[in-house]
Structure 1
């Protein structure tokens, strides 16, 4: 037997993706990390390229990935227990670091309990598998992340038990709630905290208020879920993300250790009963090995740092650099989307110009992400800039000068 015929068909499908503009580019390989020096923040070197690059496409908002305390914590945990758990959680694959991290992140989000996953993606899917039944109705924001969309699909509820409201449109959220069949027992309203391509945030205070007004209509109520993967750790007075910024607490918080915390893995924080249901019913938790103890130890240290004076300083530095970049764009007359978050979109509104600007920045040592049709609608072409705490005044000023020189 051979895969020859399959290969031909797959190559035709891949060619179609290229023609549609949806094919991913060749993956660049980072081969060197250059620590901050003088007025420069960290730089990166790519395989086959002599340039040193500023990364403005990194989710590591607090720049903790290379923090010596995280590296030391991961090293000590690895030397104590090894590099892998050797089993799933139910078959003695749970180590003391898994338990400590779950208690730590639950306390950080002010929830009774937590369960950790290999990613926020698998956390979203695991939650959907755990709290859905035949009488569950799901409602989501139109611009929700793919992991939420996949979670709503994997829950196996029929199409008529799903609603989508226009992005951050509270009147349309009410419409979706009004359209829920009276036979439904529970409603789940799920949304991103920070919409990662735009840098804007869900008005959780308004969402929770509206959902509360419908809660008594359903046997199990209306449950609010935020995926705050880009928010938690990255903004809010103490780094608690979108719930803190909006001064409102959704029922369930999903997040990641892989962005502001600088490590790896995801989590669900909620009531004890919800978390036990996740433990018992989430396929994406039950049937796969957990995070390594190194990941857990580093994540514990990251949360400790976030909750310290050092963490507050990192948040302050991040906000300063974010404000500097946003003001720089405004000074150049560039169009963006207002928001407090270090995701800063530059609306280019032209596919060719977006590609040209991404290449221009690359050739001048700056890594960014360009979003063009059909990934975004024609006229919404965007470059996403992501500010990190390690970026210096000189770094941001250099990028603004490059944008000013681009014609």
Structure 2
């Protein structure tokens, strides 16, 4: 037998021995407050479905109607024969929703990052990147060929120092930060970062994947939260979280958006987003523009759950959003905690290295507007029982 792939077996065994092997569970129900996971009916605290739009009747109906009119797949890349009027409608609506000059859509938030960063900077340029930025930012930055300088997490003073220490060593500069950091649930002081970007004439890019639908007026994101319209050059977003669908968007300065239409490689070389996804996203935007009810409910649920977890004695880290990490430290403990929760009919996954740093394993609780008061109270009781049994709380 060939030995050329033996290394994979060894590496997989190493992951299992270290407690880092991912066992992927299977869902057989729509997204919502409750799921059927591996055949078991469980309370859902894992999904990024912040507002419950992934299974919203209006969103589903919009997708169905669009398929009847347009079919399913676009059949081509956007620049050949794949741009439908629905794509243009969505881009116009997102520009208006985000209160920016223009927008361009991609197949995912990941491709939005890996497509836009290399189009903006390259060899001879420098990226100043928050040390906890998402993997798609890291990959997009590496693809660009630009020099990457990491600054301390959400630390404007360190960013300023790094910029000053590299003055005169690069052609163009780009500052990149997540809008909401998905593992800890915190967000950066974007107003101060914008001041620094302007003082040094650097481009500023924010990946607001977990901020859209959550922060700002009616879920318009972190730029709206800080009232920085026109001061952030690039806002990257995804439709796979609060919007409940799939796809990515880059919104911001019109010149940058036009440049991405010419040089954003996923836009140029991968087929356009499918018809039902575009139509469903348009319906989600309609819902967000009509009322802040879902966003308000999301924050109310989060405030209640986080306060009760603190009252029980849990460490919820430095969260500033509905994302609620339950800090446990040891990855083995975190995985056992998750397993015990599942036995209690609560689906909340453990996160360890490399998703989070070694020694900072946790259960990440994703609160949703779809959770009822009864759901939250049931989950709190389960966390309390498991936490006491495992010696996490007294």
* TM interval, short-chain normalised: over 0.9
| Worse-superposed segment, 107-116 or 4-13 | 4-13
Match of 1:252 among 216, 234, 257: 234
**Structure 1's 112 and 11: CA in aligned 2 closer, same or farther, altered over 3 A?**
same
Q: Is the 8 A contact 1:200 1:337 kept in 2?
A: no
Q: Unaligned regions of 5+ residues in structure 1, if any?
A: 35-40, 216-221
Aligned mates of 2:354, 2:94 — CA distance in 1: 38
- Match of residue 152 from structure 2: 166
Q: Is the 8 A contact 2:115 2:264 kept in 1?
A: yes
Secondary structure of residue in 1 paired with 2:21:
coil
Aligned mates of 1:90, 1:379 — CA distance in 2: 47
- Match of residue 37 from structure 1: none
Q: Deviations over 1:6-40 (max 9, x none)?
A: 33333233223333443322x22111349xxxxxx
Match of 1:302 among 284, 294, 304: 284
Aligned mates of 1:374, 1:89 — CA distance in 2: 35
Confirm or deny that 1:125 pairs with 2:85: no
Aligned mates of 2:94, 2:212 — CA distance in 1: 11
For these two proteins, the number of residue pairs brought into alignment is 385
| Worse-superposed segment, 231-240 or 186-195 | 231-240
Q: Is the 8 A contact 1:195 1:201 kept in 2?
A: yes
- Match of residue 137 from structure 1: 126
What is the aligned-residue RMSD (CA, Å)? 1.7
Q: Deviations over 1:23-82 (max 9, x none)?
A: 322x22111349xxxxxx7421134x3x31111011010110111111111001111111
Q: Unaligned regions of 5+ residues in structure 2, if any?
A: 390-394
- Match of residue 218 from structure 1: none
Give the alignment's TM-score, normalised by structure 2: 0.93
Alpha-carbon shift at residue 153 of structure 1 (Å): 0.1
- Match of residue 34 from structure 2: 43
Q: Is the 8 A contact 1:21 1:374 kept in 2?
A: no
Q: Is the 8 A contact 1:228 1:241 kept in 2?
A: yes
Confirm or deny that 1:92 pairs with 2:90: no
Aligned mates of 2:5, 2:221 — CA distance in 1: 45
- Match of residue 17 from structure 2: 19
Aligned mates of 1:334, 1:131 — CA distance in 2: 43
Confirm or deny that 1:341 pairs with 2:321: yes
Confirm or deny that 1:214 pairs with 2:200: yes
- Match of residue 181 from structure 2: 195
Secondary structure of residue in 1 paired with 2:104:
strand
Q: Is the 8 A contact 2:302 2:322 kept in 1?
A: yes
Aligned mates of 1:172, 1:213 — CA distance in 2: 15
Alpha-carbon shift at residue 369 of structure 1 (Å): 2.0
Aligned mates of 2:289, 2:345 — CA distance in 1: 34
Q: Is the 8 A contact 2:319 2:325 kept in 1?
A: no
Q: Is the 8 A contact 2:123 2:144 kept in 1?
A: no
- Match of residue 391 from structure 1: 371
Q: Deviations over 1:103-132 (max 9, x none)?
A: 111111111111111111101011112111
Q: Is the 8 A contact 1:372 1:378 kept in 2?
A: yes
Alpha-carbon shift at residue 181 of structure 1 (Å): 4.1
| Worse-superposed segment, 382-391 or 176-185 | 176-185
Q: Is the 8 A contact 1:235 1:340 kept in 2?
A: no
Aligned mates of 1:29, 1:264 — CA distance in 2: 19
Give the alignment's TM-score, normalised by structure 1: 0.90
Q: Is the 8 A contact 1:190 1:225 kept in 2?
A: yes
Aligned mates of 2:245, 2:297 — CA distance in 1: 20
Aligned mates of 2:287, 2:29 — CA distance in 1: 26
Secondary structure of residue in 1 paired with 2:329:
coil
- Match of residue 284 from structure 1: 266
Aligned mates of 1:88, 1:319 — CA distance in 2: 39
Aligned mates of 2:120, 2:377 — CA distance in 1: 48
